């Protein structure tokens, strides 16, 4: 029960259609299993409700909430709902991100509309969510923020421009967030998932390339140094749990790879 009595907001608590479990849903379930009360936030309320129903089976408190991260008014309402319901916010976990689904492409094919959409979801949404939560955490003199970046920020051959740029910017923003809020007892860290077996990463690619899921998964597995297979949403959730918990109370400003050794090979 490492989060016993904690109040958490998880943004991106639903998931894309497909097999397996996404990072956001797995994180909600892990937080609830460890004693947190969670506001499960997603643009698609039905998906957030599905996550909450799964959490209820573990006997935890999880409330679905609809919000669009591209609209700051949604994020203001999100924070207001958490405070109305529980009176405080101990953890903010920002898990929202798109790549292919947002129209991202290599530079020569990238449109202005796609770049703006991916940037608004991947980066601006997290920044604005933090903007809304930071005053609450400063008043409390405590809080933990966990953002999701990606090994794509450092991967030399990653081809999609907007995703790579926004995930690299996420690292810089998290470091700035950590430094400027350390005096208030607020910690901010980010996770860099590698190749993960999630609906967004695998099923979306399979649909976009008109290939089978098994073919896309096997191709990705072969690129992972550790045991030759992708990680899962649970691997990201377990890292988020550690960074959100008091076990990490002297850790801030870090970019933690959860990648099966991918960045070691790149380095």
Q: Which residues are catalytic?
A: 163
Q: How far is CA 10 from CA 25, 67, 100, in A?
A: 9, 11, 23
∠ CA 45-56-240, rounded to 5°: 75
List phi, psi (to 5°) of 138.
Answer: -65, -40
DSSP code for 182: G
Q: Which residues contact 22 (CB under 8 A, 6 or more apart)?
A: 14, 15, 16, 198, 199, 200, 233
- The 3-state DSSP class for residue 158 equals coil
Q: How far apart are the first and last CA of the chain?
A: 36
Q: Which two tokens stand for residue 93?
A: 């976990």
- The 3-state DSSP class for residue 118 equals helix
- The 3-state DSSP class for residue 141 equals coil
Rounded to whole angstroms, how far apart are CA atoms 170 and 177? 10
Q: Which two tokens stand for residue 249?
A: 């109370």
């Amino acid at each position: 029960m490492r989060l016993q009595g904690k109040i958490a907001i998880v943004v991106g608590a639903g998931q894309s259609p497909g097999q397996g479990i996404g990072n956001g849903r797995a994180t909600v379930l892990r937080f609830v299993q460890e004693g947190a009360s969670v506001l499960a936030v997603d643009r698609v309320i039905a998906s957030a409700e599905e996550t909450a129903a799964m959490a209820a089976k573990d006997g935890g408190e999880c409330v679905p909430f609809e919000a669009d991260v591209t609209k700051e008014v949604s994020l203001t309402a999100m924070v207001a709902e958490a405070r109305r319901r529980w009176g405080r916010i101990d953890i903010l976990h920002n898990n929202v991100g798109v790549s292919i689904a947002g129209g991202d492409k290599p530079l020569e094919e990238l449109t202005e509309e796609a770049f703006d959409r991916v940037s608004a979801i991947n980066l601006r949404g997290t920044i604005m969510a933090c903007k809304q939560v930071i005053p609450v955490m400063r008043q409390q003199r405590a809080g933990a923020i966990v953002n999701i970046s990606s090994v794509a920020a450092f991967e030399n051959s990653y081809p999609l421009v907007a995703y790579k740029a926004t995930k690299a910017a996420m690292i810089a923003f998290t470091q700035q967030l950590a430094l400027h809020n350390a005096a208030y007892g607020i910690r901010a860290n980010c996770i860099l998932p590698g190749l993960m077996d999630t609906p967004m990463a695998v099923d979306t690619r399979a649909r976009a390339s008109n290939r089978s899921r098994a073919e896309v998964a096997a191709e990705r597995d072969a690129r992972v140094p550790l045991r030759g297979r992708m990680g899962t949403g649970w691997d990201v959730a377990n890292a988020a749990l550690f960074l959100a918990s008091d076990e990490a109370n002297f850790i801030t400003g870090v970019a933690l790879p959860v990648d099966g050794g991918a960045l070691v090979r790149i380095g």
